[in-house]
Structure 1
Amino acid sequence: MRVLLAPTLSGDDAHGLAASSAHLVDAWSGAAPHDTVDLCALSDGGPGFATLVAARSDDLASRADLAPDRRDSWVAPGVLLVGGRGGTAYVDGSVGLRAGAGTVGLGEQLLAALSADPSRVVLGMPGPDQVMVVPDAGWGLLGALGLEGASGRGLADDVAAEVLGGLGAALACLGEVDLVGAAARDLPLLGLHGTSASAGEFGALTAADAQQLERTVGQLAHAVWDSAVSGQAPPPTGHPSLLAPSQAADTATRRLRDVTGLPGAGAGAGVGWLVALAGGRLLPGAAVHAEAVALAPRVAESDLVVTTLDHLDASTFHGSGAEQAATAAAAVGVPCVVVAGTSMMSRRESSAAGLSAVYVASEQPDPRGGRGGEQDGDLPEDGLADVLRRVARSWSPARSAR
C-alpha cells in the first residue's frame, strides 16, 4: 500500500524538522514494513516554511536533467531560491521577525531574495501565535526598502503624509516580481481580530498597549490614504498597484481601506497589507505550500493519506496543512485520516471536513483551545509515533510471506 504521510510541522531548526519527519516515517514503517511511505511535510506559512520547501526540493535535486545553475540554494537566512535565476524565492518571514527591530529583518530578507533575480517571491507570513513580536504594520520593512522617514525609527503616532512621499518608490522593487504573501493566519490589519488585538491576545502586548498600537496603525493607514489621494505616493512599476492615482478621492480611500480588511493583511506582524499595496497577492499559506511541494499529485498516487495536528477543532483545521491534505484526498477519492494530540471535532464535523477517521493521543481537551504551535502542551513526538503505529495496524492490510 502506498501511504502519503503529511504531518503539519513548524520550527526554524532544519535538523529538528528532519529528525521529526524521519521519526514519523520510522514509526509507520515499523508497524507496516510492507507499505511504501511518501513523506510530504506541510506548513501553513509559519516557522519552517522555506525549510520544508527545501526538503521537497532536495528530493528532486538528483534528477539527471537538472542543470547546475538551476540547483536550489540558500541566499540568506530563511531565504531559499528554487530553480536558480528566474525561479522562485521562498522567504520564511519568521526568521526575519525573530531578528528583532520589528519587521526590519523581514525587509532585509526580501532585499536578499530580490538580489538573487527571481521572477517570483513567496513571503511566508507567520501569525501572532507563532512568533512573539510587537507588530509595526510593516514600518520597519519600509525602512529597510529605503523609505527615509521609516529608516532607523519606530512607528510613531504622527506619521505625516509628507513622510510617505517615497512610499511608492520603496515598494517599486516588490512590484517588479510576482509577489505572493503566504499568510499563516487570515487576520486583517485593523479591528477586533486585527494584528494589534491578536498581539495582545497572545501576550506580546498588554491590553492598553494593544489599543494604543491599534490607533497608531490606524493613523498610518490614514496617512497612506491621504498620500495616495494627494498624489504624493507614486505607484510602483511592474504589477498593478493600489497606490496608482485615482481620479476620485473617495475611490482611492475605499480601495485602500479594503486592503486593511483583506484576510492576511495583518499577518507577518502587519506586512500583509503592504504586499497588497505593492500589487502582490495574499493567499492562504497552507495552500501556497501545498502547491510548492506538489501535494495534489502525490495524493493522487497514494492509497491513504495521514496528516497531523496538535489540536483539532474547526478553527485549527481551517487554513491548516491538514485541511489541504483532506481537500486533495477528497478530490480523488483517497481516504484521509488525521492524528491529533487532542480533538474537539465531532464525527459529523470531521466527516463534513473530508476526514475518514480521527485518532487522538489524549482524550483530554486542549485548555488553550488554540492552534498549537510552539507552545507548551503540543503533541509529544513519541505520543504521535505511538498513535501512528496504531493507525498503521488498523489501515494497512497484513501481508504474509508464502
Structure 2
Amino acid sequence: MRVVMVCQEWDATGPHPVAADSARDVAVRAWGEAAPHVEIDAFAIGDGGPRSADAVAGSRSRVGGIDAVPFADQGRSEADAGALMVVPSGRDSRWNPLDLASGLLGLAAMAQADARRITVIVPVGNADCAGDATLLWGSGAETPSLVGAARAGLASLDIVILTTTDRPLLGFHGMSSALRDGREADAAVSVAAQAQEERWTGIAREVDAVSSRPMLVGSSRLSDQPGTGAASGLAYCLAALGGRIVTDAAGYLADAAGVARALEGDVAVAVALSPTLSPTSLDHGIASALARAASVAAVPVVAVAPEVHIGRRDLMAAGVAAVYEAGHGADALAAQLGRVAQTWTPRT
C-alpha cells in the first residue's frame, strides 16, 4: 500500500510558516508513525508564486537581478536538464520588473553564447509586482517598437509563465476588477480601477497588434487571453515577449515533479497539503490539481490545510473526497496527519 503526498508551504500566512520541503518531512514522519506499514511518496512543490523555486533543490546562479535554479522535468520520459526556474534575489516576495528584465536578458545572452535555446520558467502567481510591469520591456516601453526589440533580444528563450488565475488583462473580469473585489461601494477604488483599465487598454491597443497570435477559437487578442491579468499585468508583459502562459501553476509543478507517475500502481490515497483552502485556492491550488491527476488512476484525494473556507459541495465538484483543517504550525500539521493516516490507511 502506498500514499502519495504533494506538499506546498504550510501555513504561509500564519505566524510560523513552514517551507514546503520541511512540511514534506513533517508529513512523512507523522504518517509513518501512525501507519508504518505504508510506503510514502512525498513531493515538495512551490505555490506558483515568485518564491516557487525555493522548493526546488539545486544550486542557484545570480543572473542580472534574479537567481536561476536548474529545473528538471521528471514528468517527461527524458528530463529537461536545460530548463531553469527563476526567483527574485534575496528574500523578495515580489517580482521587480527591472530586475526580471536584466535577468532574462542575461539568460538570453548565455543561450546565444552556447548556441542553444533555454526553457525559463517564471512563476508569477497573482501577487502584485514591485513596480510598473511595463518596465519589463524597457524605459518608456509602452510602444510596439520597444516591445519588439525586447522580444527579439529574448528569442533564444522559451519562457513559461506560471499563474494562479484565469483573469485576463482587460474587460469586466479583467485585472482592474481585482481592485473592486469586496469594495464596490468605495468611490475612490472605482475611480482607480477605471483609470487602470483605461491605461492598459491604451497599452494593449498598441502591443496586441504586434504580439497577438492567430486562434482557431475565441479572441486572438493577447489581452483577452486567460492569465494575462496576473501580477498587475506582468504576465501580459511576459507573454508579449513570446512567453506562454500556464494558468494551472500547481498542476504544472506537480507534473514536473513526477506526481502523475507516482500515482500509478497500488496507491490508497493522495494527500494535498495546501497553504489554505478557499474558493480561489481550490480553483487554482494543489488540491484540485492533484484531484485531476489522481482521477486518471482512480485514486481518492484528501486535502489538509491550516484553515478551510469552502463547503463540501465545492470540494465534490473539484474531485476532493475529504478535507481536514489542521490549525497553525508544524505540530498541528503532524497531529492532524496522524489522524488522517489512521482513517485512510488503517491496518488490515
TM-score (norm 2): 0.78
Q: Is the 8 A contact 1:7 1:309 kept in 2?
A: yes
For the pair 1:23 / 2:48, whether they are aligned, the reply is no
1:260-271 superposed matches below 5 A: 260-271=223-234
Q: Which moved more, 1:111-120 or 1:316-325?
A: 111-120
Q: Please say if 1:341 is aligned against 2:306.
A: yes
Q: Deviations over 1:290-321 (max 9, x none)?
A: 22211111122433211123443443211212
1:40 aligns with 2:43: yes
For 1:140, give the aligned amino acid: L
Kindly name which structure, 1 or 2, has the bigger radius of gyration based on alpha carbons. 1
Report the alpha carbon displacement of residue 350 of structure 1 after superposing the two structures with TM.
2.6
Q: Retained in 1: the 8 A contact 2:229–2:235?
A: yes
1:223 aligns with 2:206: yes
Structure 2 portions without partners, runs of 5+: 73-78, 112-116
- Aligned residue type for 2:134: W
Tell me the distance in 1 between the aligned counterparts of 2:179 and 2:88.
16
Q: CA RMSD in A?
A: 3.6
The CA distance in 2 between the partners of 1:352 and 1:388, in whole Å, is 24
| Superposed counterparts of 1:2-401, under 5 Å | 2-9=2-9, 16-52=19-55, 54-55=56-57, 73-76=59-62, 77-82=66-71, 87-92=82-87, 98=93, 102-117=96-111, 118-128=117-127, 132-133=128-129, 136=132, 138-143=133-138, 149-150=140-141, 161=143, 164-198=144-178, 207=189, 208-225=191-208, 228=209, 242=212, 255=220, 258-284=221-247, 285-301=249-265, 302-361=267-326, 379-398=328-347
The unaligned stretches of length 5 or more in structure 1 are: 56-71, 151-158, 234-240, 245-253, 363-378
Q: Secondary structure at the match of 1:300?
A: coil
- SS class of match (1:195): coil
User: Taking structure 1 as reference, are residues 201 and 79 closer, same or farther at Cα in structure 2, changes over 3 Å only?
Assistant: farther
The 8 Å contact of residues 121 and 160 in structure 2, kept in 1 or not, is answered as yes
Paired amino acid for 2:233: G
* Whole-Å separation in 2 of the counterparts to 1:202 and 1:299: 39
Structure 1: how far apart are the matches of 2:178 and 2:263? 35
**Once structures 1 and 2 are overlaid, which stretch shifts more, 308-317 or 117-126?**
308-317
Using the TM superposition, give the Cα deviation of residue 392 of structure 1 relative to its aligned residue in structure 2, in angstroms.
0.8
Identical positions, percent: 30
The one-letter code matched in structure 1 to 2:104 is L
Aligned-partner residue type, residue 29 of structure 2: D
Secondary structure at the aligned position of 2:295 is classed as: helix
Provide the rounded CA distance (Å) in 1 between the counterparts of 2:318 and 2:172: 28
- Choose between structure 1 and 2 for higher RCO, CA contacts under 8 A separated by at least 6 residues: 2
User: What is the distance in 1 between the residues matched to 2:297 and 2:304?
Assistant: 21
Q: Is the 8 A contact 2:9 2:18 kept in 1?
A: no
Query: What's the TM-score, normalizing by structure 1?
Result: 0.68
Equivalent position of 2:114 in the other structure: none
Instruction: Report the residue type matching 2:70 in the other structure.
Output: L
* AA at the equivalent of 1:242: S
Structure 2: which amino acid aligns with 1:33?
P
Give the count of matched residue pairs.
321
Q: 1:242/1:273 Cα in 2 relative to 1: closer, same or farther (>3 Å)?
A: same
How far apart are the structure 1 equivalents of 2:339 and 2:207?
Answer: 56
Judge conservation of contact 2:251–2:290 (CA < 8 Å) in 1.
Answer: no
CA contact (8 A) 2:46 2:54 kept: no
* CA distance in structure 2 between the partners assigned to 1:96 and 1:311 by the alignment: 22
Structure-1 separation of matches of 2:304 and 2:264: 20
Question: What is the CA–CA distance in structure 1 between the aligned matches of 2:91 and 2:222, rounded to whole Å?
Answer: 23
Seen in structure 2, the aligned counterparts of structure 1 residues 347 and 6 have a Cα distance that, compared at 3 Å, is same
